[in-house]
Amino acid sequence: MKKIINDPTTVVDEALAGMASAHADLLRVSLDPMYITRADAPIAGKVALVSGGGSGHEPLHGGFVGAGMLDAACPGAVFTSPTPDQVLAAAQEVDGGAGVLLIVKNYTGDVLNFETAVELADGIEMATVVVDDDVAVKDSTWTAGRRGVGGTVPLEKIAGAAAARGDDLASVLSIAQRVVANVRSMGMALTPCTVPHSGEPSFTLADDEMEMGVGIHGEPGRERMKLAPADDIVATLLDSVVGDLPFSSGDKTLLFVNGMGGTPLIELYLAYNSARKYLADKGIEVTRSLVGNYITSLEMQGCSITLLKLDDELTELWDAPVHTAALRWGV
């Protein structure tokens, strides 16, 4: 195992200390319990958004804390859910009196621990939205139902914009649920990743193999296949994504090609080009785009493709100003 670390047991703590120093104008970091908040939180009268999950998926979620997106994020250990006390403390820290929306990826531990935090909360109005956009599986040992993956990023951005414009909790929840209903994703891997404390790859692949439908923790996908050209890889992913909602000719969409951590941008943009051609052939219009490493799996080589059906309001909220460590425009 080759990693730029000091001690496998202190990776998250040291990374958060670095993040706090690098983005002191945007963020505050608490280490006990562990959570990240906006530097200007709480904001009186604004619905607060709190998300979180295991570390190792950076910039998700801490990189999306800031104006126009999340108010707080709760990082667990690598690939491990945050605890209820983290979620509760973060919610208490950022509550501005208008309620808190919890954004939860559909993994058993995340769902259980966020639910427990809601049960423990006293005097804070809370609502929860669960992201379950991964079309690769219906069930796995990590989740009851579909996993929450790339769709989490546009959800946090769009719901964050709704909260920033002054929507109440019920309205922000409704918009978040609309995103969940209209977003689908699927990923693939060329290589495994190695969790620091284990020191061993999470799975094995031969040099000429790829895993289609892999999860962001290295969970098994739909099928192990021989390595193929980019056009074929993208078509396999999009066949499942487009056919699931389904997306139709004339739809306006956000196309998000995400890197798993170890894939260079030149390959991600090449995959994006393949996806644009695939969607154009089906009459599906791409009106907004995002390409890069936004929800990763440590150093895994691979990518995921997320497609979100847009309407005028969702487009307006996507375009709204955002100022975070990892996503920034309009400011």
In the prediction, which pLDDT does 104 show? 98
Predicted pLDDT at 101: 98
**Nearest-angstrom CA–CA distance, 297 and 157:** 20
Burial class (CB in 10 A: 0-12, 13-18, 19+), 245: middle
pLDDT at position 34: 98
- Give the start-to-end residue ranges of the domains of the chain: 8-182+320-329, 184-311
Q: Please check the confidence at residue 141 and state whether its pLDDT lies above 60.
A: no
Kindly indicate the confidence band of residue 219, based on its pLDDT and cuts at 50, 70 and 90.
confident
- Please report how the helices 169-182 and 312-319 are oriented relative to each other, as an axis angle in degrees rounded to 10: 110
Length of the chain: 331
When pLDDT is averaged across residues 61-81 and rounded to a whole number, the result is 97
Say whether pLDDT at 76 is over 90.
Answer: yes
**For the structural domain made of 8-182+320-329, what CATH number should be given?**
3.40.50.10440
Q: How far is CA 221 from CA 127, 213, 248, in A?
A: 31, 4, 26
- Got the DSSP string for 196-249? TTT-SBSS---TTEEEET--TT----SEEEE---HHHHHHHHHHHHHHHTT--T
| 242-296 pLDDT, tens digit each | 999 999 999 999 999 999 999 999 999 999 999 999 999 999 999 999 999 999 9
pLDDT at 168: 98
**Greater confidence, 319 or 139?**
319
How high is the pLDDT of residue 170? Answer: 98
Q: Cα–Cα distances in Å, from 32 out to 14, 36, 103, 141, 246?
A: 13, 11, 21, 30, 44
Please report which confidence band the pLDDT of residue 218 belongs to, taking 50, 70 and 90 as the band edges: confident
Indicate if 217 belongs to the active site. yes
| CA 100 to centroid of chain Cα atoms | 19
23, 61, 197, 217: the catalytic one is: 217
Confirm if 126 and 73 have CB atoms less than 8 A apart.
no
Give the Cα separation of 128 and 177 in Å (integer).
10
According to the model, what pLDDT value does residue 199 have? 84
CATH code of 184-311, in short, is: 3.30.1180.20
Which one-letter DSSP state was computed for residue 62? Answer: G
pLDDT at 67: 98
Q: What percent of the chain has pLDDT over 70?
A: 98
Question: What is the C-alpha to C-alpha distance for residues 114 and 83, in angstroms, rounded to an integer?
Answer: 8
CA dist 173 and 167 (Å) reads: 10
Each residue's pLDDT tens digit, 226-245 = 999 999 999 999 999 999 99
Q: Single out the catalytic residue among 23, 57, 61, 323.
A: 57
pLDDT value at 142 more than 60: no
pLDDT tens digits, residue range 34-69?
Answer: 999 999 999 999 999 999 999 999 999 999 999 999
| Common-topology check for domains 8-182+320-329 and 184-311 | no
Residue 57 annotated among the catalytic residues of the structure? yes
